Structure 1
């Protein structure tokens, strides 16, 4: 048997990979975070699958479910929202699985920031405007950020900045970023992207906090800041330029 860690995407049942759908459909056990993984995704589980909501479980209890499935020879679809590569808490689970000799693998998913960019219909990297995307999170209610990853320092780069888990601190975040980007810099908040209750807020660092408060948003949001959000009149990329064709 194998514990299949699967990126379940931002919410919509069809925003997962073909491999993810196949693994979910073939696993008799599914462990998922009920507050984050959409019921649409759970719809891919086979009839009679044992569904275990992990949002009320601690790490030891989750591992106990894995051990139980391992003893029964049952594959497990372990679903995490978005993609596994960031803020998924997969590493602490796989570390313990290795200690127990329980096999596991990972299947990537559509990350929340990419889904947010698509919903906003914007590319986060624009020629000569922004060629770097910084992914970070607000640190107040989680483990401390390592030295050198403070928001003020990251903002000093002036490129596209994506902040997870920060809706409850939008005033502080907007104020900090405005010192580097300027108060007129474009900003957006994307909430529950691809869910039926998706919300998209577009503004500037001067307005985005008040706009966010007006909607009552406090969680499940992605904050995106940077000039790429409204860039226009930029030069074409070299990828498809005629000059590139001539230089071949």
Structure 2
């Protein structure tokens, strides 16, 4: 289990504490023999001493984003009263594509423990928004809609849970509706994605596209590492596709 402890110790910062840390500690203690949260914290401290730094667990590391995803994913998956295998498979496949098979296997082992623990969405989100920039929080919401739709459709209880999480993360209603529209093929989805009304002028459409392209540009997630850029590119592609659809409809 040495590599497992090293992986978590090296990758985590702020999520080693607070309600997310408690969920990780529960999962590790219950489902990973011979390893505790204190072992992981010790590995983190040892690493900081070796490299001569101490970030006070205040920054968002790649692993912090990963653990935040796992905890929030567990909340959304349970929101409809059952744990659907297709949703679990989606989480696993996404993690394999982002982190590679070995790291994904470790993460999923942890996830199976986290999903058995009741956690407060509000407390978890307060911890996340204190440490994580807005662009990264938008990416979390995008990922959660992907999970919710993994079984073929998004039901009202899942939408409500993600909406509640978005509110706790200080994601405004327009941003929430924009990301939601990326997962629905509705007649006005392109306009919702760009956060404008159908009655918008051509100039307003162009301006909205520039604003949204800047907001969702993958470069905003560079600090989280290359493994998280693919998801950002998906969002960016949705913005571009929405703009192209409106341009074609209007012959702009």
TM-score between both structures, scaled by the size of structure 2? 0.29
Larger radius of gyration: 1
- Structure ranking higher in strand proportion: 1
TM-score between both structures, scaled by the size of structure 1? 0.30
- Structure ranking higher in helix proportion: 2
